Chain A
Amino acid sequence: MSEIHFREMASKSWLNILTFLCGSAVGFVLCSQLLSILLEEQKDIQPSILHNDPHARHSDDNEQNHLEGQMNFDADASQHKDENTDIAEKLYQKVKILCWVMTGPQNLEKKAKHVKATWAQRCNKVLFMSSEENKDFPAVGLKTREGRDQLYWKTIKAFQYVHDHYLEDADWFMKADDDTYVILDNLRWLLSKYNPEEPIYFGRRFKPYVKQGYMSGGAGYVLSKEALKRFVEAFKTDKCTHSSSIEDLALGRCMEIINVEAGDSRDTTGKETFHPFVPEHHLIKGYLPRTFWYWNYNYYPPVEGPGCCSDLAVSFHYVDPTAMYELEYLVYHLRPYGYLYRYQPALPEKILKEFFV
């Protein structure tokens, strides 16, 4: 009897030990899971790096609506200490550019947001044009529908809106898409040689259909104040009508009718500055097949390879969000220390005079 009892006791204590071990294993696993989750969260808290933005020192700028430079440039403050932006600042004041970005409700967060975080801040004023108003973004509502066939309508209404509200706030009026990357400093250099009271507009010049050529929509184009006035007036007097849904072509036709000159936007060595594609498509020989429409459209002899693109390029198109930031990094941050660039264009006369007054 006592033997059986003993065995019972033994098996019971084995069971007890097993139960205890099971319990401790479960406790261990649960606890480790919990701790690992807690510790991961701690690692995710990034230190925020905020420094003074030297690019936003626009002391003379009294623009109320000026979109403040949200982006703080200095990941590496000491590098930017070496940077002298006097000329860029001077041009900012002398060559006032209002940018309007063609976008839509679906693209505000997907695309326009990244434009806003990068190049848009360098415009003297920037407006995001959509079919419907969005007070938070903010975006202007043009009260049109969306879609590729609405582009010309949106363009006409956008320019009208800009003309009615901001005509005196800028000298030049730039249209871009939400997948266009624009280098404002270089646009100012290009435009500084011209007078905004002249009827002229610039972009990537295409030759078909319009005698003087017309500017590619995607690569962006910029109208002088006089050109804008004439454009808006032309719709009031029916000189131009909403003739087609092909935005850039229709605009180009109108420009010709109202005697606005299609300007030559190439740099002093003849290299193009406005680009209808991303750098890769222009820089790589053979990337764009010979049968591609582009080769027959370009007004000036098209070039592929290193000669395609000016050092002082103004725009690129079909730029996805990642590429927006990549371009921002390559243009405004990464540089070869001490390197003497081959292309050293002169400052425009007008600006030089200002400097030495």
Chain B
Amino acid sequence: MLSESSLFLKGVLLGSVFCALITMLGHIKIDYGKRTHHHERHHLQAPNKEDILKISEDERTELSKSFRVYCIILVKPKDVRLWAAVKETWAKHCDKAEFFSSENVKVFESVNMETNDMWLMMRKAYKYAFDKYRDQYNWFFLAHPTTFAIIENLKYFLLKKNSSQPFYLGHTAKSGDLEYVSVGGGIVLSIESIKRLNSLLSIPEKCPEKGRMVREVSEDKQLAVCLKYAGVFAENAEDSKGKDVFNTKSVGIFIREAMTNHPNQVVEGCCSDMAITFNGLTCNQMYVMMYGVYHLRAFGHVFNDVLVFLPVNGSDND
């Protein structure tokens, strides 16, 4: 009996030592991994005010006008109310916004992609946009109708970025080794990226219409795979404090999380002042965000922004 229990205890000891060793090794690997990931996981930051001030007044006016953002919103008939809300709210601030739907919907103007498959819709939309607008727009922003976007903050973020470089940015996530931009937070492509994408779309080995996986792979991951072949890599966009500017959650969710995780610093710990997108909004929340962002403010707080973006002509909703 004694020898058995001592054997058991020896076993326990060995087991725990083994476990501790594995955990430590695992952590070292993760830490090391994190560090290398840090390098691999591309972060892109908003510009510094100092950089902008170096530009002359005239150049700044030219700069304001040099961002031409084309917005692609992928919709399905069931999204009709959100579609209407987006159309009446933030989409007006794109230099041009077009809705790409899976099928024709009465009363709503859209480009018919004639497919229910999200990846096919995305491919066709990018091809359409590139073929038609390659000379008129230099940045392409793709979103779902559950996303609210502040295009002015997008333009500010892109300030020092050259659109002839292959940019592919938004809120990134990882799937195994693949780093991709989550479609929920919105996807930004420079003209160079969309050009490269376009040339790959016709090569089924690189950019298949049907993923090679047995299970369905989401369209944002498929896009990342495709772009990788073209040497275009996903980058996570952050403000000067390291906060994400593209968000896959709504303000309400962030606030609720902050109230639980750091109740003494709810608003500070929440979200960037220069946030570009929030996702998961209801139709009503679109209008509330529009009011909250483009109207509601505190009197006597004046910002000396170096660029000016005028309100949209003839729009009454901002």
Q: When the two chains form their complex, are residues B299 and A188 in contact, meaning their CB atoms are under 8 A apart?
A: yes
* Beta-carbon nearest neighbor of B283 in chain A: A284
**A interface footprint on B260-300 (CB within 8 Å = 1, 0 otherwise):** 01101111111111110000000011011111111111111
Q: Which residues in chain B, 116-172, are within 8 Å of chain A measured between CB atoms?
A: 150, 152-153, 155-156
A337–B261 CA distance with the chains assembled, in angstroms: 29
**A interface footprint on B2-22 (CB within 8 Å = 1, 0 otherwise):** 011001111111111111100
Contacts of A59 in B (CB 8 A): none
A337–B156 CA distance with the chains assembled, in angstroms: 7
Q: When the two chains form their complex, are residues A19 and B152 in contact, meaning their CB atoms are under 8 A apart?
A: no
Say which residue of A30, A77, A87, A338 sits within 8 Å of B308 (CB atoms): A338
- Segment at the B interface, from A196-204, A235-243, A323-331: A323-331
Residue A22 is within 8 A (CB to CB) of chain B in the complex: yes
Contacts of B309 in A (CB 8 A): 336-340
Contacts of B258 in A (CB 8 A): 325
* Beta-carbon nearest neighbor of A309 in chain B: B291
CB distance from A245 to the nearest CB of B (A): 34
Residue A71 is within 8 A (CB to CB) of chain B in the complex: yes
Residue B77 is within 8 A (CB to CB) of chain A in the complex: no
Residue A221 is within 8 A (CB to CB) of chain B in the complex: no
* Beta-carbon nearest neighbor of A25 in chain B: B15
A337–B240 CA distance with the chains assembled, in angstroms: 14
Residue A76 is within 8 A (CB to CB) of chain B in the complex: yes
* Beta-carbon nearest neighbor of B93 in chain A: A336
**A interface footprint on B231-256 (CB within 8 Å = 1, 0 otherwise):** 00000000111010000000110011
Q: When the two chains form their complex, are residues A331 and B288 in contact, meaning their CB atoms are under 8 A apart?
A: no
- Segment at the B interface, from A78-86, A142-150, A246-254, A256-264: A78-86
- Segment at the A interface, from B197-205, B206-214, B310-318: B310-318
Contacts of A189 in B (CB 8 A): 299-300
A321–B267 CA distance with the chains assembled, in angstroms: 12
CB distance from A320 to the nearest CB of B (A): 11
Residue B107 is within 8 A (CB to CB) of chain A in the complex: no
Q: Which residues in chain B, 27-60, are within 8 Å of chain A measured between CB atoms?
A: 27, 48-49
**Contact A185 B301, CB 8 Å, known A28-B18, A76-B243, A338-B152:** yes
Q: When the two chains form their complex, are residues B18 and A22 in contact, meaning their CB atoms are under 8 A apart?
A: no
Say which residue of B12, B19, B294 sits within 8 Å of A341 (CB atoms): B294
Contacts of A26 in B (CB 8 A): 11-12, 15
Main secondary structure of the interface of A (DSSP, over half): helix
**Contact A31 B301, CB 8 Å, known A75-B268, A337-B156, A340-B308:** no
Contacts of B268 in A (CB 8 A): 49, 71-75
Q: Which residues in chain A, 43-99, are within 8 Å of chain B measured between CB atoms?
A: 46, 48-49, 71-91
Residue B304 is within 8 A (CB to CB) of chain A in the complex: yes
Contacts of B303 in A (CB 8 A): 82-84, 335
CB distance from B258 to the nearest CB of A (A): 7
**Contact A28 B19, CB 8 Å, known A306-B291, A326-B252, A341-B294:** yes
Contacts of B11 in A (CB 8 A): 19-27
Residue A35 is within 8 A (CB to CB) of chain B in the complex: yes
A25–B18 CA distance with the chains assembled, in angstroms: 10
Contacts of A90 in B (CB 8 A): 300
**Contact A71 B10, CB 8 Å, known A15-B4, A183-B298:** no
Contacts of B48 in A (CB 8 A): 78
Q: When the two chains form their complex, are residues B241 and A77 in contact, meaning their CB atoms are under 8 A apart?
A: yes
A339–B152 CA distance with the chains assembled, in angstroms: 7
22 contacts between A and B (CB under 8 A): A19-B8, A20-B14, A27-B12, A35-B20, A49-B269, A75-B243, A84-B301, A86-B302, A89-B300, A186-B299, A284-B284, A306-B290, A322-B259, A325-B255, A329-B255, A329-B270, A333-B271, A333-B273, A335-B303, A337-B153, A337-B155, A341-B295
Sample of 6 more A-B contacts, CB < 8 Å, known A15-B4, A24-B12, A339-B294: A78-B48, A78-B241, A183-B298, A185-B298, A325-B255, A342-B318
